[in-house]
C-alpha cells in the first residue's frame, strides 16, 4: 500500500500540476466565485459556518476581512504558480482559499466540486521542489498526486452514497434530471428529455458510474487514461445539458494525466525560433526518495 501511495512521478508532472492548480485558484476568484465578495452584504445572522468554521473558530465575514482574503489570495496564488517558495506560498494559498470557501459555503449551499481541489492545495506544499520538464522522479510528488486522485474518486463515490442516504432508490427512479432540465436545461437537454425513459436510464447510469469509479485505480495505464477521459466526457455532457461545470474538480482530476508532456513555454519558444531551455536533468530519470525537498 505504501509503495502505491508514494509511486514516484516525474518532477515535471508535479510542476505542471502545481502551476495549473494555482492559476485556477487565481481565475476562480475573478471568474467563477467573485460573488463570494457579496456575501458580506447580507445580515450577519444568516452566516451559518461549516463545521470547520465553528471548530477553529472563524469570525463572521466583514467587507474588510473578505477584501483582504481576496487580494492576498490572488497575489499569493499567482506567485505560487511560479513554483517558488513552494512551502510558504503553498500553505498560505491553502489557508486563504479554505477561508474563501468557508465564506462561500456557509450561507446554505455547499458545492462538493471543491473537495478535490482543496485536498490538492493541502498536499502540494509537501511535494518538494519541481521544475517544468524535469524527468527526475519523486515519491513525495507522487504521494501528493495520489492523494489528490483519491479525493477525486471519493467525490464520485461519496456522491452516490449521499444519493442513497437522502433519496434511496427514488433518486434513480424519480425526476431528478427532469427537474434539473426544467430549471437550467439547454436546447440539447430539451431534445434528450423527449426520448421516453432516457432520463431514468441516465440516472441509473450516473449511480453506476459513481459507484464503480474506484475501479480506475486497478486498471492498466492505457485503460486508466481512457477511463479518465470518460470522466471528462461525463462532465462535458453535464455542461452541455444542465450547465453545471465542476471546474475545480476537473482541474484536480488532471492529477491522473501525464502533464509533464504539456510544456507551453517550450512550444512558445519554438514558435519564436528559440531553442528550448535545457532540462535540469538530462539522461535517464533518477529517483528522489526524499519525503520533501529543501525549500
**Residue 281 domain-assigned?**
no
Burial 248-286 (b: 16+ CB within 10 A, else e): bbbbbbbbbbebbeebeebeeeeeeeeeeeeeebeeeee
**Residue 293 domain-assigned?**
no
**Residue 68 domain-assigned?**
yes
**Residue 1 domain-assigned?**
no
pLDDT exceeds 50 at position 295: no
> Which has more pLDDT, 257 or 262?
257
Average pLDDT over residues 102-109: 87
pLDDT tens by residue, 118-160: 999 999 999 999 999 899 999 999 999 999 999 999 999 999 9
Alpha carbon distance 154, 131 (integer Å): 29
**Residue 286 domain-assigned?**
no
**Residue 156 domain-assigned?**
yes
Pairing of strands 9-10, 137-138: antiparallel
**Residue 4 domain-assigned?**
no
**Residue 295 domain-assigned?**
no
> pTM, whole model, 2 decimals?
0.88
Displacement of CA 165 from its chain's centroid (Å):
25
Q: Which domain holds residue 134?
A: 9-273
Amino acid at each position: 500500500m505504501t509503495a502505491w501511495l508514494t509511486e514516484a512521478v516525474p518532477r515535471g508532472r508535479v510542476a505542471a500540476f502545481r502551476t495549473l492548480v494555482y492559476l485556477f485558484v487565481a481565475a476562480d476568484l475573478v471568474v467563477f466565485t467573485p460573488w463570494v465578495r457579496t456575501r458580506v452584504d447580507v445580515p450577519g445572522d444568516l452566516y451559518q459556518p461549516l463545521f470547520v468554521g465553528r471548530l477553529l473558530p472563524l469570525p463572521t465575514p466583514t467587507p474588510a476581512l473578505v477584501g483582504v482574503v481576496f487580494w492576498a489570495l490572488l497575489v499569493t496564488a499567482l506567485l505560487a504558480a511560479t513554483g517558488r517558495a513552494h512551502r510558504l506560498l503553498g500553505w498560505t494559498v491553502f489557508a486563504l482559499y479554505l477561508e474563501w470557501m468557508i465564506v462561500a459555503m456557509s450561507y446554505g449551499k455547499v458545492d462538493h466540486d471543491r473537495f478535490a481541489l482543496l485536498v490538492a492545495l493541502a498536499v502540494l506544499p509537501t511535494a518538494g521542489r519541481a521544475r517544468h520538464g524535469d524527468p527526475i522522479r519523486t515519491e513525495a510528488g507522487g504521494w501528493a498526486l495520489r492523494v489528490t486522485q483519491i479525493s477525486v474518486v471519493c467525490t464520485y463515490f461519496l456522491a452516490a452514497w449521499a444519493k442513497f442516504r437522502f433519496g434511496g432508490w427514488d433518486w434513480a427512479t424519480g425526476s431528478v434530471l427532469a427537474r434539473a432540465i426544467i430549471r437550467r436545461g439547454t436546447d440539447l437537454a430539451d431534445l434528450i428529455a423527449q426520448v421516453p425513459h432516457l432520463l431514468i436510464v441516465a440516472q441509473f447510469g450516473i449511480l453506476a458510474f459513481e459507484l464503480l469509479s474506484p475501479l480506475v485505480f486497478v486498471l492498466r495505464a492505457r485503460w486508466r487514461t481512457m477511463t479518465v477521459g470518460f470522466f471528462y466526457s461525463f462532465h462535458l455532457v453535464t455542461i452541455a445539458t444542465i450547465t453545471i461545470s465542476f471546474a475545480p474538480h476537473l482541474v484536480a482530476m488532471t492529477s491522473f494525466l501525464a502533464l509533464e508532456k504539456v510544456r507551453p513555454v517550450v512550444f512558445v519558444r519554438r514558435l519564436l525560433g528559440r531553442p528550448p531551455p535545457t532540462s535540469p536533468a538530462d539522461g535517464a530519470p533518477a529517483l528522489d526518495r526524499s519525503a520533501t525537498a529543501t525549500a
